[in-house]
Amino acid sequence: LAQVVAPSPPVPRPAPPPPSAAAMAKPADARKIVKKRVKKFPRFQADQFKRMNPAWRKPRGIDGRVRRRFKGSTLMPNIGYGSDKRTRFRLRSGFYKFLVRSPADLEMLLMHNEKYAVEIAHNIGAKKRKEIVERADQLRLTVTNRNGRLRAEEGE
């Protein structure tokens, strides 16, 4: 007879504390974002040559089957793949991205915390990042990269 052994329970991991609902703003327009296509359009025959960049270039040859849109050949990008005008450029969270380089830039978003999410520029140091995140929390702004260049404090 085969002996049935109960599986051991999974090891519980401490979850990070979620930001309070009052602290984080929700997007005002909670419309569902529909992407007609999320895959990239590869350049025709770029998979055959290492020296060829896979970024899309329109085929211009006289006999090109991609340009002539033959069945089974690579698809070409066209205007029909465009996103809905009302949800274009939105982040997955529903906000629009707003690049910030100084704490003063946040003042522009004073009344727009339900439309824009803050992204701190890549070349901002740890000290100024901390100031920006603190001011964003006061204005109830969502910061997409709030944990960048963050070190554990010595006192904590």
Report pLDDT for 16: 55
96: helix, strand or coil: strand
108 is written with which tokens? 């522009």
What residues in the chain have per-residue pLDDT under 50? 154, 156
Cβ partners under 8 Å of residue 19, min gap 6: none
Q: What is the pLDDT of residues 1-20, one digit of tens each?
A: 667 776 777 766 665 555 55
The DSSP H or E segment spanning 118 is: strand 116-120
pTM: 0.73
